[in-house]
Amino acid sequence: MAIFETIVIAFWAMLPAYVPNNAAVLAGGGRPIDGGRTWGDKRVLGDGKTWRGTAAGTTAGLALAGLLTLAANSVGSAIGVDVPEFTFPAALGLAAGAMLGDILASFLKRRSGRQRGAMFPGLDQLDFVVVSLPLTALLATDWFVDVFTWDVIAVVVILTPVLHVTTNVIAYKLGLKNEPW
Ligand code: CTP
Ligand code: K
Ligand code: MG
């Protein structure tokens, strides 16, 4: 596969996993998932992981997967790249997996003594990849094997931190996010 094609497919296939975190930032608030509970002297997840943010993020990812599926044929022929359609299990694995990865990362941050909003380089940028890809492979194995070839996975691992840093700096400058990570 040509490198341009690989990058386009990696970006396209990951969009339903990229959007949930940003949607959660916009929609977040209300009751925290851990209900304020602590484990030892630390919160389990913290106030930054809310039911509303998680539901909105997952919904946004699913909705985007639906839109991309509708657009796949026309976008594909316009740019000459065979971009994939999403099955429901694939969309769910990507969107819910991204939210779950972010939640697990917060769990690890609290366990390691980091306050809400603290930076955890590496984990902050790749948490959602680490969970969304295996979950998608589990829920939509045939689709996953088809779309996420090794070269696509390699591009995802390189592209994701770059996009993550960029969008978070923009969200921070726009005043949507408290920290630029
Ligand atoms: N958010 C949410 N629910 C989620 C994820 C995010 O409501 N499942 C919202 C919260 O308002 C959160 C903001 O999006 O503060 C930014 O997300 P993130 O950076 O992941 O959370 P932090 O507040 O930095 O908390 P943590 O240290 O636990 O990552
Ligand atoms: K995060
Ligand atoms: Mg944060």
**Three-state secondary structure string covering the chain:** CCHHHHHHHHHHHHHHHHHHHHHHHHHCCCCECCCCCEECCEECCCCCCEHHHHHHHHHHHHHHHHHHHHHHHHHHHHHCCCCCCCCHHHHHHHHHHHHHHHHHHHHHHHHCCCCCCCCCCCHHHHHHHHHHHHHHHHHCHHHHHHHCCHHHHHHHHHHHHHHHHHHHHHHHHCCCCCCCC
Q: Is 1 a residue whose pLDDT tops 90?
A: no
Quick one: pLDDT at residue 92? 98
Ligand 1 neighbour 116 (Cβ under 6 A): yes
User: What digits encode the pLDDT tens for the residues 111-143?
Assistant: 999 999 999 999 999 998 999 999 999 999 999
Query: Is residue 180, in this structure, part of any structural domain at all?
Result: no
Q: Is residue 144 part of a domain?
A: yes
The best mutation among 22, 33, 50 to test binding of ligand 1, ranked by most ligand atoms within 8 Å of the C-beta, falls on: 50
Report pLDDT digits (tens) over 11-34: 999 999 999 999 999 998 999 999
- Tally the domains of the chain: 1
Band of pLDDT at residue 46, cut at 50, 70 and 90: very high
- pLDDT score at 27: 96
CA dist., res. 96 & res. 29, Å (int): 18
Mean pLDDT value across the chain: 96
Confidence label for 44 from pLDDT (cuts 50, 70 and 90): very high
Please give the ipTM for the structure prediction: 0.98
Nearest ligand, CA 58: 1
The reported pLDDT for the residue numbered 130 is: 95
Does residue 179 sit within a domain?
Answer: no
Residue 50 lies in a domain: yes
Q: How much distance in Å is there from the Cα of 122 to the middle of ligand 3? A: 12
Instruction: Give me the domain span that covers residue 48.
Output: 3-173
Question: Mean pLDDT throughout 66-86?
Answer: 98
Spacing, Cα 178 to ligand 1 middle (Å): 10
Residue 99 has pLDDT above 90, yes or no: yes
